Structure 1
Amino acid sequence: MCARCRRTTDEPVLVHEVHAATGPGFNVYACPECAEHYPPMTDVLELLDSAARRRAHTGGPLTEPIPCSSTNPPCACPRCTARL
């Protein structure tokens, strides 16, 4: 069944993969006519690979650290204690 128009199709096109942290994910399909309205799928492995290359290039963390606040107090790790 097409995720966009809800009609059944004999030629489903994979338009999205939903990953789940606590169990199996699922695939989202569309008919060929509706599939062109979806953006291209992102390859998760490419994202991880580009993040690893960026980290190796800059030598820094993948993301900026979360600022410490009353709702996000610092922990005792060296990264947080260095920011205090």
Structure 2
Amino acid sequence: MSPVRKRRSRSKFSEDEMIWNKHEHDMRIGETKQILDEKKHEATFSLENERIRIEKARLEIGQQKEARMADDNRRSYHIRLWH
């Protein structure tokens, strides 16, 4: 029988390298969480700004429609009065 080769870990790090300083690990996790929280806040803020912009545009369109309708009503009233 041929000798059985010891199977190598698929990880590129040795077991010793994987057991790093817990404090360093916690710091990295904390930094990552902080970055993710900041990105989430930026995205939420951006979405809220976009929602406000869309709502303002809707209101403006509604006001323009009302103004056109009022103008059309005035015109049709004047046309009926004078013709």
Q: TM-score, normalised by structure 1?
A: 0.27
The structure carrying a bigger helix percent of its residues is 2
The structure carrying a bigger strand percent of its residues is 1
Structure whose CA Rg is larger: 2
Question: RCO greater where, 1 or 2, for CA within 8 Å and sep 6 or more?
Answer: 1
